[in-house]
Amino acid sequence: MNQGLLGKVGMDPKMALGYLGVMIFMIGEGLELGWLSSYLIDSGLTVQQSALLFSVYGFAVAIAAWLSGVLAEILGARRAMIWGVALFTAGTLVFLTAGIPTMNLGIMIPTYALRGLGYPLFAYSFLVWLTYYAPQEKLGTAVGWFWVSFAAGLNVLGAYYSSFALPYLGEIRTLWSALIFTVLGAAVGIFLNKEDKSSNSKKRFETKADALKYIAKGITIAFEKPKVGIGGIVRTINTAGAYGIVVFMPVYMMEIGFTRTEWLQIYGALWTSNVIFNLIFGIVGDKLGWRNTVMWFGGVGCGITFAGLYYVPYFMGANYWATTAIAIAFGACLAAYVPLSALIPSLAPGNRGAAMSILNLGAGLSTFIGPVIVGAFIGSVGVVGIIWIFTGLHIVSALLMKFVTLPKDSLDIEVKTYKAAQ
């Protein structure tokens, strides 16, 4: 009966525990995103120093995200996920015991970066596993469920958990509680999830040199198949603004008149919408075309709604419901980039892991590029200038998608899938 219910909503029962494990793990990763920057600034760091911390963290995420695709194929997805848990745990322990108490950037930057190496290896290795397991005609829905789990933990449940935990636990104990979620998520996603040997992502290599050559494939494929490289750029733009706002938007919103709790709830509403629409746009992409979904709902939609994040509270003041509504709209449009996770590996069916490495690199780079843009330009162009930079980037991503077309045989699959649904 449970299998029937899961099947009706497009989720494979064999991978359900994997989705659940990713969601729980990402609560631990994301519980501080909506408030850590403002806490560090209140504790003595400047906005630029906070941006530097998040930028280096984002660079570490980018490296781990790039490696996750090929490492999942070299080591196997499970082993790569275990490495992710270990790195996250080690980084968290040192960051909280030696970094935060001293506010010493020399300790905080490398240890927070070590923490950032962990979650891409855990989450994106599972995504590679999923692209091997799910059938082509249902791949958009399958990755939609992945991004539902990912965003639900990272941006929704983490934010809402913090809004309730901070008044009772304080900042430091709330950060410590992250380890509870990551360990529990790892137990569910790695050890309870039953592996299907027929869809194992692990490749066999004759020598270590062959394995290293395949790691390099995670970069060279972007040049061998330029459409894969363009997809990686679009994925970078996708969430660059979303990661950039965590550096400056909490301070801006509180200057407007919102409380920290209200901001966290608005931020949580943004990502709650994103979770719901991750699945919706995964299904829409399977029916109406992956490229068109990303181009119009993603690029153009985000360009409009991201600007609204600034102008709605600017003109209406600390209007909780109006600001929540535009945040919900932006979160929905962010989800329209989800079909990239089906489109890009389909451009390289013989090297899905390498293609996913480019996509994952883009996802990781967004956590780096977003804070870098804020740190580099906020002093000269202010908050409104930063808003327009990210708005422009979303429009550029829509234009780039004009060039990301599937080969004819893959297009036939999309057409048949669409006709079958009528």
Identify the residue whose tokens are 């938007």: 249
Residue carrying the six token digits 């045989």: 409
The answer to whether the CB of 2 falls within 8 A of the CB of 129 is no
Yes or no: say if 65 and 77 are a contact pair by the CB < 8 Å rule. no
What pLDDT is stored for residue 420 in this prediction?
37
Per-residue pLDDT at 175: 94
Q: Which residues of the chain have pLDDT under 70?
A: 1-13, 134, 136-137, 192-212, 214-215, 407-422
Distances from the Cα of 243 to the Cα of 2, 154, 352, 374, angstroms: 36, 12, 27, 10
**Residue 308, pLDDT score:** 95
Rg (CA), the chain: 20
Structure tokens at 302: 């985000």
- Classify 130 as helix, strand or coil: helix
Q: Please tell me the predicted confidence (pLDDT) of residue 214.
A: 65
Query: What is the spatial distance between Cα 422 and Cα 419, in angstroms, rounded to a whole number?
Result: 5
Fold of 23-187+216-417: Growth Hormone; Chain: A; (1.20.1250)
CA atoms within 13 A on the CB side of 225: 26
**Domain-by-domain residue ranges, the chain?**
23-187+216-417
Q: Decide: 268 and 156 in contact? Cβ < 8 Å.
A: yes
pLDDT reported for residue 59: 87
Residue 111 is predicted with a pLDDT of 94
Q: How are the residues of the chain apportioned to helix, strand and coil, as percentages rounded to the nearest 5?
A: 85, 0, 15
